[in-house]
Amino acid sequence: MPRHLVVGNGKFLINLDQYGCIRDIFYPYVGQLNHVGGYRCHIGCYVDGQFSWLSDPEWNFHLSYLEDSLVTQVTAIHDRLGITLTMNDGIHQRDAIYLKRIEVHNHAYTDREVRIFFHQDLIINETEVGDTAVYYPSNHTIYHYKKDRYFMFNARFDQDGIHQFSTGTKRFHQAEGTFRDAEDGDLSGNPIAQGSVDSVISVKGIVPSRSSIFGYYWFSAGPSLEEVKKLDTYVRDSGPGNLLDRITIYWQRWANKSDRQYADLGVAIEKLFKHSLLIVRTQTDANGAIIAANDTDIMQFNRDHYSYMWPRDGALVAHAMSMAGYHGMIVPFFHFCAKALAPEGYLHHKYNPDGTVGSSWHPYIHDGKQQLPIQEDETALVLYTLWQDYVRNGDIELPQSLYRTLIRRAANFLYTFVEEELQLPKPSYDLWEERYGIFTFTSAAVYGGLSAAANFAKLFGDDKRSIKYQEAAESMKQGMKRHLWNEELGRYVRGLYRKDGEWQQDLTPESSIFALFEFGVFPATDERVQRTMNALRNQLSVKTGVGGIARYYHDYYFQKSSNLEQVPGNPWIICTLWFAKFDIANARSLADLSIPRRTLMWVVEHSMESGMLPEQVDPFNGTPLSVAPLTWSHATFVSTVIEYLQRYEELSKV
């Protein structure tokens, strides 16, 4: 299942499901470690002798966020119980504190006692071995701990604190979990449990007839008992409701830091644009890692996840956020990449949020020959994005601080990692991490990276290197013209493979060829680029009522149809937006912008109720496929909107 709601602050990230229940807690890095691991931390309601978990089917939900903020707005209605819960979730903008406000509305014409139960199902440090859950009488809380990870849980209903508590064993022998102890409306009060454990706390209050009262639930995370106690005291003293209001205001200020005019895009696109900015922020670690996605349910398919930083995703996300005016937010990303760079000057396949190298399926051997297990575009795109950020923001101190450690080392690698006979990059893995060869996307990215390095060298008076890098970029452009163009098809091809001693073109229609104009190799108005993009649009458009554009022809990943003429592959958010970028660049009048505007609305229409954008959508019913939210999807929406607005302004002056 996708993650319907996310809240975070760059150091602490929590995902919630469609019932408003916690499913992932990432700390102390965004994406590392997950102390819940996809299990559900249940929420229950007890009234008039009847109990119901929020995951029961009788509850009807509406999921959203408070306007322009990272505070949720979840409404849950249970007609038979006569109860409506309105819930707001947020994470403190600075500290590792999660807060939930619950307004309990009583539909009945009599006063009623309502009890709310909160279940904590932690697997600290991603293992259930050796956890402890304990009641702490000094401040009337429950906390879970292991080694240097502590989580302290507290609650209040109206003015009263925790009513009852219990700890116990879960998923071991016959024990399903302590949460079952809540279903009679009372908790046993067991004060401590160790091993594979969970806990439950409850609050109670009298809700007047046809009226509401407020309850609060919060917890803090830290490296010691003293730290979480201090944070708990801070919440008590400040008031959890006051803190949630301040969190809301902070993110509203953050999302509206620029006085941006949205031309003719409309409210729905503007709303998703701001929401995308906020979602990207939740997936960006304070230490620089920009995480692809933190939807751990993907582990059901391949026993791995997307909670890594791919330098490719990271660079393109950083590029979008730079365009949006969030330069300060992305500065740590470039320092992260400088530290992560291999001695030879390249970036590895992917990284953990703490900077260590992530898992990989790229081998050091291919067809019996030694190779680098890399995607060269990842190294190149970091340089490309850094230069674009400098042009936009003029922060010369950032690239100067990285000139020796990142820019020159990476540029020297790009300069030498060249197939001399073709004047194209040597073979590496494609951006989809699936095939090994020389690809149009990679070549265009390397062109952009070398051009960026040449510009930086010139900026810093390093003229000899500047000329060297620029000449290498121009040679690569000529190599692309000679070897990646297919005259018979009238378009650029996906790439080249070495077979039986000769280079053979891969003719598969491939959306990523948009890189030809995206990274500055050719203008979007170039005749060959035009012919290529028009042919690809025709071959990759999904011809169902859902629409959108596939990644490439016969895309196997989560494949939903073998009718390739109708469904060449599932529609991807980013790939569909790439063609909108092409349409924007080619617009010659304001009327021409109606086509990319419709594409932006298509994205809005295929976002989840809560505003999350998935990686792909089902070609027949439009429901989310693969992970959600995907950071790259949100960032591409951001960059496409900004390009639209820039082009709108240009054409308004014509």
Give the residue-averaged pLDDT of 259-278.
97
**What pLDDT digit, counting tens, does each position of 363-389 carry?**
999 888 999 999 999 999 999 999 999
CA angle 214, 217, 222 (to 5 degrees): 155
pLDDT for the residue 301: 46
Q: What is the mean pLDDT of the chain?
A: 96
Tokens of 83: 């109860």
pLDDT digits (tens, 9 = 90+) for 124-156: 999 999 999 999 999 999 999 999 999 999 999
Q: Are 203 and 155 in contact (CB under 8 A)?
A: yes
Block residue for tokens 């042919």: 535
Q: CA 311, CA 461: separation in Å to the nearest integer? A: 28
| CB within 8 Å of 533: residues ≥ 6 apart | 513, 514, 524, 579, 582
Is 173 a residue whose pLDDT tops 90?
no
Q: What is the pLDDT of residue 176?
A: 85
Q: List the 5-8 sheet strands across, edge first.
A: 5-8, 13-16, 22-29, 32-34
What mean pLDDT comes out for the span 251-255?
98
CB 334 within 8 A of CB 323: no
Percentage of residues of the chain with pLDDT beyond 90: 95
pLDDT at 23 over 60: yes
Of the listed ranges 160-174, 386-400, 506-520, 619-633, the least confidently predicted one is: 160-174
Q: Which of 595, 589, 606 is nearest to 651 (CA)?
A: 589
Q: What is the pLDDT of residues 37-58, one digit of tens each?
A: 999 999 999 999 999 999 999 9
Contact status, residue 97 vs residue 220, Cβ threshold 8 Å? yes
Q: Which amino acid is at 281?
A: R
Per the CB < 8 A criterion, the answer to whether 560 and 515 are in contact is no
Taking only the tens place, the pLDDT of each residue in 297-352 is: 665 445 468 999 999 999 999 999 999 999 999 999 999 999 999 999 999 999 99
| pLDDT tens column, 598-613 | 999 999 999 999 999 9
Tell me, what's the pLDDT at 496?
Answer: 98
For the cut 60, the answer to whether the pLDDT of residue 229 exceeds it is yes
Is 398:334 a contact under the CB 8 Å cutoff?
yes
Does 500 have pLDDT greater than 90?
no
* d(C-alpha 53, C-alpha 57), whole Å: 9
Whether the per-residue pLDDT at 244 is higher than 60: the answer is yes
- What is the model's pLDDT at position 69? 98
Bridge partners of residue 505, in order along the sequence: 496
Instruction: Tell whether the torsion through CA atoms of 352, 356, 359 and 364 is positive or negative.
Output: positive
Q: Which residues contact 384 (CB under 8 A, 6 or more apart)?
A: 315, 319, 445, 448, 449, 451, 452, 519
If residue 617 lies in a helix (H) or strand (E), which one and from where to where? strand 616-617
Tokens of 89: 């979730």
Sign of CA dihedral 561, 563, 569, 570: negative
- Reduced to 3 states (helix: H, G, I; strand: E, B; else coil), residue 328 is helix
93-112, pLDDT tens digit by residue? 999 999 999 999 999 999 99
